[in-house]
Structure 1
Amino acid sequence: MSVFNTNTRVAVIGAGAMGAGIAQVAAQAGHPVQLYDNRPGAAAQALQGIDRQLGQLVDKGKLDAAEREAISARLQPVESIEALADAQLVIEAIVENLQVKQDLLRQLEALCADDCILASNTSSLSITSLAAGLRRPQRVIGMHFFNPAPVMALVEVVSGLATDPQLAARLYQLAKAWGKQPVHTRSTPGFIVNRVARPFYAESLRLLQEGAADCATLDALLRDAGGFRMGPFELTDLIGHDVNYAVTCSVFDAFYGDFRFQPSLVQKELVDAGRLGRKSGQGFYDYREGAERPPAAELQSTARVDRCVVEGCLGVMQPLLQRLKASGISVTERPGNGLLRVGDATLALSDGRLASQRAREDGLSNLLLVDLALDYTSAARIAISKAADTTAQAQDQAIALLRQAGFSVSEVADLPGLVVLRTVATLANEAADAVLQGVGSAADIDLAMRAGVNYPCGPLAWAEHIGLGYTLRVLQNLQSSYGETRYRPSLLLRRVHAQGGHLHD
C-alpha cells in the first residue's frame, strides 16, 4: 500500500450529510476527491452545498477566497461507481445496513486495485462482518467521523479482526493530517463513543421514569452543574429518537441483552407516537411555532443564613468552601465525617444511597444530599434531595445557604445518586469496562468522549478526580439500591483501586 500524501486519490460513496462532510474534509486537506451517489444528480447537488458552506467561511473571514476555489476544484462528482476504479482510498458513508454495505465492498474489491483501502464510516456495524468473505479483508477498516464531519474533531479508527495493524496506524496518521483527533478502537458493539455514551441517556431516562424531576430540570442540572454542553433530553430531541433508540437497541442486542444497555420504555413511547424530536416538531419538548421551552424547577428560600460548620473534608465538594467564604458566609471548620451543617440542616455529598437510607444508617437528622458538580466554584446550579424526616425549616436553611453562594437550587426526588453523580459514575464504569475488554486505551476513550460528544471531562479522568474508591462506593450503593447488574462495578475499577494505581497508567 502506497504512502498517503495530498496526491492520494480519495473517493467517497454516499452524498448525504456525512458523505459530503467527509469529502469536504479530504478536499480541504489537499486531496483530489470523487463523490459518488447512486441517486442521479445527488453528488453534484452535494458539492454545490459544500461550495455554499465554504462561501460562508469566506464571508466570515475564516477562509481565503482563493482557497475556496482550490477546494471546490478538487471535488469531482461522478455518476457511476466504475469511475472510482483508480481511487487509492474509498470511504463509504451509505445506509447503515450490513448487507447493503457488504454488497458495496464486494463490488469495490472487484473494481479497485488490490492496494486500494476500503474504509467504512459505519457508526455501529462490525468491521469484521463487513470484511468477511472478501479476498483481502486486511484492507478493510472503519473511519467513523462524527456529524458534522468538517466541524467535529473525532475520528474513530476501527480495526476488525483481519485489519492490518499497519493500515490502522497509517489511517490514524492520515486523520491527524486532516486536522482530526483520531483514536484507535476495536470493532466491538458501539465502538467507543456509542457504547460509553449509553449511560448519559439511560440514567436520565430512568430518573424521568421514576419521577425524579422533569425534563427541563434534569437537562439544566447536567448542563449547569455537570458542565455538559446539552442535557440528554434536548440532545436526543436533536439527534432524533428513532436514531438514538435504534442505536441503543442495537448495542443492547449486540451485548446479548446486557441490562446495562436496556432501552427505555419512555423513549420507545415517543418513537411509537412519531414524536422524534426537532425533525418532527415534538419530542421531549415542543418545537412547533409558538411553543415555549419550560423552565427548570428552582427552589426559593425565605431563610437568612450567615454561618455554617464544616466537619472534616467534604471530598470532591471541598472547593465549595471557597465559594461560601467568598459570598460572605462564615465557615467554621472542625474534625468530622465530611458533613456541612447550617442551622438545623445537615448537608453531605451523595454517595449513591437514598437520603432516607443514609440518614437512618448514619444517624443523621434533617439530612439533605448534594449532587456532584464539575466545578463547585463556578457551577450555576446544584441538585439536592432530602430524607423523609427533614423539616421544612431545615430544608429552607440549606437552600438559603446554597442560594447565597450563587447556586440555583433544584430538588430531585429521593433517588440513589441524584443526577450528575450517578451519570458520571455509570459513564466511568462503562469506560472502564471498555478499557478492560481492549476496546481502546484509557487515554483514547477519554479523548473520544471529549472530542466526539463534547463531554467536559473524560469519564475515566473524572472518576479519578472524584476518587476511584468513591466512584466504586457510588456504584456499589446503586447496585444495592436497585438489585440489578446494570450498576455492577467494573473489574478494572476494582482492580486498579485495590492496587492503588491509576486508570491512565
Structure 2
Amino acid sequence: MTALDRTSTVAVVGVGTMGQGIAQVALLAGHRVLLHDAAPGRARVAADAVAGRLDRLVAKGRLGATDLKDALARLVPAESAADLAGASLVVEAVVEDLAAKQSLFAELEAVVGDGCLLATNTSSLPVTAVAGALRLPGRLVGLHFFNPAPLLPLVEVVAGAATDAAAVTTACDTAAAWGKTPVRCTDTPGFVVNRVARPFYAEALRVYEERAADPATIDAVLRECGGFAMGPFELMDLIGQDVNEAVTRSVWEAFFHDPKFTPSLAQRRLVESGRLGRKTGRGWFAYGGDTGGSRGAGEAGVRRPEFQPQTAEPAVCPSYVVLRGDLGPARAVAGLVAESGIEVREEPADGPGAIVLPGGAPLRLADGHPMPAPGVRFDLALDYRTATRIAVAPCDGAHAEAVDQAVGLFQALGKDVSVVGDVPGLIVARTVAMLADLATDAVARQVASARDIDTAMRLGVNYPLGPLEWCELISAGYVRDLLDALHRASPTGRYAPCRELRRRADAAEGVFSS
C-alpha cells in the first residue's frame, strides 16, 4: 500500500476544531471529504466553518477562487454513518474517551469496506486499546495531528500492537502527500512529543517550587538563553493548565507512576483554583484585553510587571579574569570574553574548568554539583554568542563582590543577567539534560528513530534543536554527569540517567563494561 489516491474519499468523524482542521487538510490535498458527527446538524455547521476558513485563505491570496470552488464541491456533510460506506480512509476526532472511540469504530467497521483504513487522532489513549474490539484491528492506526492541523506540519503515525505494517506505510505516505511531516512511533504513553516534552514543563515547575526563580524569569531564561520559542509557564497558560496537567497525569499513570513523569503540586493547585490560563483570564499570569496579542500584553500592548523577568542592575565588569581548564559546553564563553577586550590570563586547571574572577571566586558552568564557596554558577546556553540573557546563581556564602563581578562580566558580553537561586543544574541545563535523557530512552525502547524523535520535537513543539542533537552538541558525558549529580541531590529516581544514555557516554569516553 502507498499513499491514498486523490480520487479516494476521506471521511472525518467528530467535527470539532481538530476534525475541521483535518478535513481542511484532506480537502486541499484534493480528496472528496465527508464530514460526520453524532449530533444532528453539526456536520453541516462544520462544513460551513471549513468553507469560511477557505474563504479567508482566498482573501489572503493563499488559495485561488477556482481552487475554492472545486474544494467546496468536494466537501460533503454526512448525517448518517451509513453515508461513509465508500470511504477509503476514516479519521476519528471525537472525545478522548476509550469506550466512545471503541463504539464508534465498531459501528464504522460494519459500514466501510474491509480495505478502508481507519485512523484515530487520539493524543493520549492507547491505539492498541482503541483497536481492541475490532474484527480487523490491523487496519487501525494512530494519526495524531497537532492543533491547528492546517498549520502545524507534524503528524505522529502510531502503530498499535496489532496494526499492519502496510497500514502504517499508507498512513505515513498519505500524510506526506498532504504536505505533512510524518514520524513513525510505537504505541507508547504520550507517543513521542507528549512523552519527551514532559521535562520542559516539569523542570520549570520544580525550579519554581524550589523558589529559585519566579515564572517570568524562568520563561525568560529558557527563551533568551535556551533558545526556546516560548517559556513553559506562558505555554502552559496558552495550552490550558487543566489540559497540560491532564496530559502529564495521563503519561505518569500510564507509566505506573514513574518518578520521571511526576506531576506538579503547584500546577494541581492552580487547576483547583480555576486559574486555567488565557481561557479563564488568569493562570500563571493574568490576562486582560486582547489575550491573543504579545506575551503578557494588555490592551495597550505593554507588558505588565508580572511578566517582567528579574534582571540585575548594571554592574562593573572586572578588568581581567583567569581561565583555568576547559569550560566544556561553555567554552565559547572564553572566546567571547577575549573578544570583548577583557584581559584573559590562562592557568593550568586542577579541577573542573572555571573562569576565576578577581578575588579568587570561580565562575563555573552548571553541572548539577553543589558549588563550593565563594563560587558562582552560570547556566547552559544554546548559543552563548546569540543568547541575550544568562542565569547566574551564587552559592551559599558567595561574596556580593563576586556576584557583581559575574553579573558585570556577562553584561559586558551583551547579556541581560538574572540572578537565581542555587538549585542543582539551574534552569536550562537541567531541562535540556532531562529532555535528552527521555529522548535517548525512547530510542533505546524503539519508540521511534532518533531522527524522527528530533524531527517531532522541532516541528511538534518548536524546539530549537532536537533533544538528541542537543545531547550530541554538549556531549552525552556532560548530560550523564549532570543527571548523576541531580540524582545524588534528589535520589528519587527522577534524575537517574537511563541505561542507554550512560552506555553512550561511556562509549564516547572509551569506557566499556565487561
**What interval of TM-score do these two structures reach, taking the shorter chain for normalisation?**
over 0.9
| Cα distance between partner residues in 2 of 1:294 and 1:115 | 54
8 Å CA contact 1:224, 1:380 repeated in 2: yes
| Cα distance between partner residues in 2 of 1:100 and 1:70 | 34
SS of 1:487's equivalent in the other structure is coil
Question: 1:335 is matched with which residue: 313, 327, 348?
Answer: 348
| Cα distance between partner residues in 1 of 2:13 and 2:448 | 28
Aligned residue runs from structure 1 range 413-428, under 5 A: 413-428=421-436
| Cα distance between partner residues in 2 of 1:210 and 1:76 | 54
Q: Which residue is equivalent to 2:337? A: 324
| Cα distance between partner residues in 2 of 1:138 and 1:465 | 40
SS of 1:226's equivalent in the other structure is coil
Q: Which residue is equivalent to 1:353? A: 369
Residue 329 of structure 1: how far off its partner (Å)? 2.4
Residue 39 of structure 1: how far off its partner (Å)? 2.3
Q: 1:3 to 1:210 in 2, by over 3 A?
A: closer
Residue 497 of structure 1: how far off its partner (Å)? 2.1
Q: 1:243 to 1:108 in 2, by over 3 A?
A: same
| Cα distance between partner residues in 2 of 1:38 and 1:474 | 52
Q: Which residue is equivalent to 1:466? A: 474
Is residue 488 of structure 1 aligned with residue 496 of structure 2? Answer: yes
Is residue 173 of structure 1 aligned with residue 195 of structure 2? Answer: no
Residue 185 of structure 1: how far off its partner (Å)? 0.5
Q: Which residue is equivalent to 2:103? A: 103
Q: Structure 2: any 5+ residue segments left out of the alignment?
A: 290-297
| Cα distance between partner residues in 2 of 1:37 and 1:487 | 45
| Cα distance between partner residues in 2 of 1:306 and 1:112 | 77
Q: Which residue is equivalent to 2:293? A: none
| Cα distance between partner residues in 2 of 1:500 and 1:321 | 25
Residue 415 of structure 1: how far off its partner (Å)? 0.6
Residue 162 of structure 1: how far off its partner (Å)? 0.6
Is residue 77 of structure 1 aligned with residue 116 of structure 2? Answer: no
Residue 71 of structure 1: how far off its partner (Å)? 2.5
8 Å CA contact 2:245, 2:267 repeated in 1: yes
8 Å CA contact 1:218, 1:231 repeated in 2: yes
| Cα distance between partner residues in 1 of 2:36 and 2:125 | 21
Amino acid at match of 1:351: D
8 Å CA contact 2:36, 2:78 repeated in 1: yes
SS of 2:110's equivalent in the other structure is helix
Stretch moving more, 90-99 or 490-499 = 490-499
8 Å CA contact 1:322, 1:377 repeated in 2: no
| Cα distance between partner residues in 2 of 1:430 and 1:128 | 22
Which runs of 4 or more aligned residues in structure 1 lie more than 6 Å from their structure 2 counterparts after TM superposition? none
| Cα distance between partner residues in 1 of 2:72 and 2:343 | 64
Residue 3 of structure 1: how far off its partner (Å)? 5.8
Residue 79 of structure 1: how far off its partner (Å)? 1.6
Q: Which residue is equivalent to 1:362? A: none
| Cα distance between partner residues in 1 of 2:250 and 2:418 | 34
Stretch moving more, 102-111 or 313-322 = 313-322
Residue 349 of structure 1: how far off its partner (Å)? 0.6
| Cα distance between partner residues in 2 of 1:84 and 1:456 | 42
Aligned residue runs from structure 1 range 127-142, under 5 A: 127-142=127-142
Residue 501 of structure 1: how far off its partner (Å)? 9.0
* Aligned-residue CA RMSD (Å): 1.7
**CA offsets, 1:204-231, max 9 Å, x none?**
1111111010000001111111111111
Q: Which residue is equivalent to 1:477? A: 485
**CA offsets, 1:111-147, max 9 Å, x none?**
1111111100000111111111211000010000000
Q: Which residue is equivalent to 2:309? A: 296
SS of 1:142's equivalent in the other structure is strand
| Cα distance between partner residues in 2 of 1:349 and 1:148 | 39
| Cα distance between partner residues in 2 of 1:99 and 1:286 | 37
Aligned residue runs from structure 1 range 379-398, under 5 A: 379-398=387-406
| Cα distance between partner residues in 1 of 2:99 and 2:143 | 19
TM-score, length-scaled by structure 1:
0.95
Aligned residue runs from structure 1 range 20-419, under 5 A: 20-289=20-289, 292=304, 293-336=306-349, 337-344=352-359, 345-355=361-371, 359=372, 365-419=373-427
| Cα distance between partner residues in 2 of 1:460 and 1:70 | 44
8 Å CA contact 1:140, 1:163 repeated in 2: yes
Is residue 432 of structure 1 aligned with residue 436 of structure 2? Answer: no
8 Å CA contact 1:12, 1:34 repeated in 2: yes
8 Å CA contact 1:238, 1:278 repeated in 2: yes
SS of 1:485's equivalent in the other structure is coil
8 Å CA contact 2:14, 2:94 repeated in 1: yes
Q: Which residue is equivalent to 2:292? A: none
Amino acid at match of 1:350: A
8 Å CA contact 1:354, 1:417 repeated in 2: no
Amino acid at match of 1:394: A
| Cα distance between partner residues in 1 of 2:62 and 2:465 | 28
**CA offsets, 1:33-63, max 9 Å, x none?**
1111222332222233323333333333333
Amino acid at match of 2:419: E
SS of 2:244's equivalent in the other structure is helix
SS of 1:111's equivalent in the other structure is coil
8 Å CA contact 1:27, 1:74 repeated in 2: yes
Stretch moving more, 306-315 or 160-169 = 306-315
| Cα distance between partner residues in 2 of 1:110 and 1:247 | 32
Amino acid at match of 2:433: A
Q: 1:118 to 1:244 in 2, by over 3 A?
A: same
**CA offsets, 1:274-308, max 9 Å, x none?**
11111111100101345934300001233233332
SS of 2:118's equivalent in the other structure is strand
Stretch moving more, 31-40 or 214-223 = 31-40
8 Å CA contact 1:370, 1:384 repeated in 2: yes
| Cα distance between partner residues in 1 of 2:426 and 2:377 | 8
Amino acid at match of 1:40: P
How many residue pairs match? The answer is: 494
Q: 1:145 to 1:3 in 2, by over 3 A?
A: closer
| Cα distance between partner residues in 2 of 1:34 and 1:124 | 25
8 Å CA contact 2:2, 2:170 repeated in 1: no
| Cα distance between partner residues in 1 of 2:189 and 2:13 | 23
Amino acid at match of 1:490: C
Identity %: 49
Residue 317 of structure 1: how far off its partner (Å)? 0.9
Q: 1:501 to 1:195 in 2, by over 3 A?
A: farther
8 Å CA contact 1:225, 1:372 repeated in 2: yes
SS of 1:56's equivalent in the other structure is helix
Amino acid at match of 1:9: T
SS of 2:96's equivalent in the other structure is coil
| Cα distance between partner residues in 1 of 2:484 and 2:53 | 50
Amino acid at match of 2:111: L
8 Å CA contact 2:15, 2:37 repeated in 1: yes
Residue 242 of structure 1: how far off its partner (Å)? 1.1
